[in-house]
Amino acid sequence: MVNGLQPTKAGVGAPVAELVRAIETADSKGAMVVAVNNLAAAQDVDAIPTLITVLGYNNPGAAVAAVNGLAALGSAAVPALLEQIDGYNYGARAWAIRALALIGDPRALPVLLETAKGDFALSVRRAAARGLGTIHWPLLPPDQAAIAQRDVLEVLTQATADPEWVVRYAAVAGLQALATDSVEPIRQKPLILASLRRSFEQDETLAVQARARLALDTLALQ
Amino acid sequence: MEQDSQPLVAVEGAEAESLTAEQAIANLRQTADMGLRYYAAWWLGRFRVAEPTVIESLVLALEDESDRAPDGGYPLRRNAARALGKLGDRTVVPALIKCLACDDYYVRESAAQALESLGDPLAIPALRALLAGGVAAAVAVPGKPHLVQPYNAILEALGTLGATEAIEDIAPFLEHDVAQVQNAATRALYQLTGDATYCDRLVERLQELNLQLRRSAMMDLGAIGYLPAAEAIATTLAENSLKLIALQGVLESHLRQSNFPSQALSDDARRVLVLMDELL
């Protein structure tokens, strides 16, 4: 595999076009998955628009391949993902948020915060809550990171009271990750631990309680 | 789209949040607006409003004659049965058993599912009676997208209710033409015999080419909480939302067996949690 962040331009134009054509002409869901996997494996920035388009097809296998391809391309895919986030196709939106969450680029923070707070679809809130915990904080200056982390903590704490168990589960996972990366541990860690303890003791869903227990155990060891 | 076209989409949305329990109860008790009544029945089940007045009104709704679908079915009865399955009050079991004789297939299906959730063995003889005639009688209704009985729901309920007396009635359904019915029989037989080779059949199904079959096997494995299937569920080609629900089933059944939260997390529980994290 070539380094996705620095694709060499020479000679790759034709193959990517061919791989894109294979997606356009795929005649079954299985063929589509193979074609998307091939395009994702090329790790070429020219593949980004097509990979994003695939997120809107009703084909989870192909969407998984496209998300993985976009995630491997990393920050190079972020501007296009932010620009093309689909406001009306919830399936596509969930996958795009998932790709942004996997990439962890702080430029996605406003979208992730807004989405975790109030998106209509639980799968989208879930992906956003998870993504808020896995931002690559060193990419921001410490003072900006501190302000952003306060927002993240507030939104994730709210999300531990979401009506859907899987969003609460993702919020707990996000809080654990935030505690590990906090730039203001003295201020934030007690708040995070209190929130996790509340989920462990009071959540109505056993799986969420278990995730909170895992977070508390892990943080106690650090 | 697929992620949100699942039944779980029904629990989303601002509309659901904006109703209050008082309004929903009032909507259920009035008879002027059938749409409001239908929606209230769903809402009260979804938000688990198990007050005596709700139970009483839902039981009344099981015999409703006013809300009729174009196909002659009873939409309100269907929703009322589903809601009663969620409210955990076993006094409604006889009323739900009566619904197993309703001429609307979907009322029978909802009632069988509700009886499974309520977990009362009292329902076993009536459920078992619906298997009469065996596989030979279990044919499609001409022009309808379903079989003569809701066999999936019936088999699943018999498995969950511990109906060991029905094992011989259930076993032939392993060879039914419809794969989902085979899955339901497989799952029930595992619950009734503890024989893990039945689960391995379901795990193999996770490799099927057909997405519907993979989904169905995955949800069955989640429902019976078969821990060794966790990795296979996490890696099958299907949407993450459904994988997470199946893994939740596997995890929680293991947590209950290992007395969590009074006991610490086991290594198996941690393993499943790691798989779930990767699907968020």
Region B187-199: mean pLDDT is 94
How far the first Cα of chain B sits from its last, in Å, is 17
CB of A163 less than 8 A from some CB of B: yes
Residue A86: the pLDDT is 62
CB of A126 less than 8 A from some CB of B: yes
Residue B189: which residues within 8 A CB-CB, separation 6 or more? B159, B167, B170, B171, B174, B195, B198
User: What stretch of H or E contains B117?
Assistant: helix B105-118
Count of other CB atoms within 10 angstroms of residue B252: 20
Q: How far apart are CA B119 and CA B261, in angstroms?
A: 23
Most confident of A32-46, A165-179, B11-25, B206-220: A165-179
Angle between the A185-202 and A165-181 helix axes, to the nearest 10 degrees? 150
**Nearest residue of chain A to residue B249 (CA atoms):** A207
Residue A11: the pLDDT is 34
Which of the four pLDDT bands, split at 50, 70 and 90, describes residue B150?
very high
pLDDT(B16) > 70: no
Residue A210: the pLDDT is 98
pLDDT(B12) > 70: no
More confident residue, B2 or B220: B220
Residue A127 token pair: 């992906």
pLDDT(B39) > 60: yes
Q: What sign has the CA pseudo-torsion A143, A147, A152, A154?
A: positive
Residue B19: the pLDDT is 82
pLDDT digits (tens, 9 = 90+) for B151-179: 999 999 999 999 999 999 999 999 999 99
Residue B191: which residues within 8 A CB-CB, separation 6 or more? B159, B160, B162, B224
Which of the four pLDDT bands, split at 50, 70 and 90, describes residue B135?
very high
pLDDT(B2) > 50: no
Say whether pTM exceeds 0.95. Answer: no
Q: Extract the residue ranges of chain A whose pLDDT is less than 70.
A: 1-14, 86-88
Which of the four pLDDT bands, split at 50, 70 and 90, describes residue B91?
very high
Residue B36 token pair: 């409001």
CB contact under 8 A, B4 and A90: yes
Question: Is there a contact between B57 and B29 (Cβ–Cβ < 8 Å)?
Answer: yes
Residue B171 token pair: 């076993």
Tell me whether 0.90 is exceeded by the ipTM: no
- Looking at chain A, the whole-number percentage of residues with pLDDT higher than 90 is 73
What is the dihedral angle through the alpha carbons of B54, B55, B57, B58, rounded to the nearest 10 degrees?
110
CB of A187 less than 8 A from some CB of B: no
Facing residue for A120 by CB, picked from B12, B256, B276: B12
Which of the four pLDDT bands, split at 50, 70 and 90, describes residue B211?
confident
CB of B10 less than 8 A from some CB of A: no
- Looking at chain B, the whole-number percentage of residues with pLDDT higher than 70 is 94
| Substitution target from A88, A202, A204, A213 for chain B, most B beta carbons within 10 A | A213
Q: Which residues in chain A have Cβ-Cβ distances shorter than 8 Å to B261?
A: 200, 206, 209-210, 213
Residue A86: which residues within 8 A CB-CB, separation 6 or more? A55, A56, A92, A93, A96
pLDDT digits (tens, 9 = 90+) for A92-135: 888 899 899 999 999 999 999 999 988 778 888 999 999 999 89
Q: Which residues in chain A have Cβ-Cβ distances shorter than 8 Å to B17?
A: 163
Please classify residue A52 by burial: count the beta carbons closer than 10 Å to its beta carbon, then call 0-12 exposed, 13-18 middle and 19+ buried.
Answer: buried
Is the backbone peptide bond immediately before B261 cis, with ω within 30 degrees of 0? Answer: yes
Q: For Cα atoms B224, B226, B229, give the angle at the middle one, nearest 5 degrees.
A: 135
pLDDT(B67) > 80: yes
Residue B17: the pLDDT is 53
Q: For Cα atoms A41, A42, A43, give the angle at the middle one, nearest 5 degrees.
A: 85
Residue B139: the pLDDT is 95
pLDDT(B51) > 70: yes
**Phi/psi of residue B140, nearest 5 degrees:** -75, 150
- Please tell me the distance in Å from A206's CA to the nearest CA on chain B: 6
Name the nearest CA neighbour of A78 among A58, A96, A66.
Answer: A96
